[in-house]
Amino acid sequence: MSPMNSSLLFGIAAFVLVCSAIATHYIIRVKNSFAALPRLERPWLLLELGVASLFIAALTIPIGELSQSIAISHLIQIATVVSATFFILTAMVTMKQAWTIRESD
C-alpha cells in the first residue's frame, strides 16, 4: 500500500475517533438530563454502545495497516460496524417508542 493511502487512512481514523469522542460526550450529557425518565435511559445507553462500536471500528483502521493479519482486523472492523448499526437503529426505535408513550401508560 502506498504511503499516501496509509496517511489518508490514518487521517480518516483520527477524524472518526475525534467525532466519536465528541458524540459520546454529548450523548452522556443528554442522557444525564433525561435521568429522571426511566424509559429514556435505555435508548441513550444503546446509542452510546453504537458510538463505542464505531470508535472500536475506527481503531482497527490503523491496526489493520500495521498488523500482519489483515483478514482478522478486517473481520473485527466489519463486526463492529454491523454491531454499531444494530445498536444505533435499536436506539432510534426505542426512542420513538419512548416518545410516543401516553401519560396513561
Classify residue 66: in a domain, yes or no: yes
Q: Nearest 5 degrees, angle CA 54-CA 58-CA 62?
A: 165
Binning pLDDT at 50, 70 and 90, where does residue 86 land?
Answer: very high
Classify residue 29: in a domain, yes or no: yes
> Rounded mean pLDDT of 10-37?
81
Q: Which domain holds residue 59?
A: 3-99
Q: Which of 7-16, 60-69, 77-86 has the lowest mean pLDDT?
A: 60-69
* Count of the separate structural domains present in the chain: 1
- Inter-axis angle of helices 41-66 and 3-33, nearest 10: 160
Binning pLDDT at 50, 70 and 90, where does residue 3 land?
Answer: very low
Binning pLDDT at 50, 70 and 90, where does residue 4 land?
Answer: very low
Classify residue 62: in a domain, yes or no: yes
Q: Do 73 and 67 meet the contact criterion of CB atoms below 8 Å apart?
A: yes
Please give the single-letter amino acid code of residue 88. Answer: I
pTM score, two decimals? Answer: 0.68
Classify residue 81: in a domain, yes or no: yes
Classify residue 104: in a domain, yes or no: no
All three cell numbers of 33, joined, read 438530563
Classify residue 12: in a domain, yes or no: yes
Classify residue 105: in a domain, yes or no: no
Task: Kindly tell me if the per-residue pLDDT of 13 is higher than 60.
Answer: yes
